[in-house]
Amino acid sequence: MLIVYTYPRFRPQNTIDLSTLPLNKFAQAVDDIVHHQNDIQLWFGYVDGWMLTPHEEVILRKAIRKFECHAVSFFPLAFSQSWKNEIRSIYTERPHGEPDSDNNGSALHDGRPIGYGGFGS
């Protein structure tokens, strides 16, 4: 599952930091992790869909399906559709210094409170 932040943030604790790897070694490192680890969390750092080749997206999708992965993306709509299907939460704002999420299965609406019920709420 993929957790996306649309603002800069520090790496969450207890995650393997892949953000320092050069892009040409990123996919191979993720592939190695997928084959040798069972239960970890990965920090991709800043990633947008246009940064990756289709082959790299397939390799990273294996990790997204197996582990909890975190990424910062200012343009999450640039991800391929297969990545969008794997997104669990998109954190879009910082009310009172803490990120907030709109994860009710509806379209992403920046600034909506958690549990926003749609029309008439």
Strand order in the sheet with 68-72: 16-17, 41-46, 68-72, 2-5, 87-93, 100-101
In the structure, what pLDDT confidence band is assigned to residue 113 with cuts at 50, 70 and 90? low
Per-residue confidence at 119, pLDDT binned at 50, 70, 90?
Answer: very low
More confident residue, 116 or 38: 38
The more confidently predicted of residues 79 and 103 is: 79
Closest CA to 34 of 51, 11, 50, 18: 18
pLDDT for the residue 104: 44
Would you list the domain boundaries of the chain? 2-92
pLDDT tens for each residue of 6-49 = 888 888 889 999 988 888 888 889 999 999 998 899 999 898 87
- Residue for token pair 């009710």: 104
- Give per-residue pLDDT as tens, 42-91: 999 898 877 888 888 888 899 999 999 999 988 888 888 888 888 888 88
Helices of type H across 1-121: 23-36, 54-66, 81-84
State yes or no: pLDDT of 92 exceeds 50: yes
The CA-atom distances, in angstroms, between 89 and each of 23, 36, 39, 76, 112 are 24, 26, 19, 11, 14
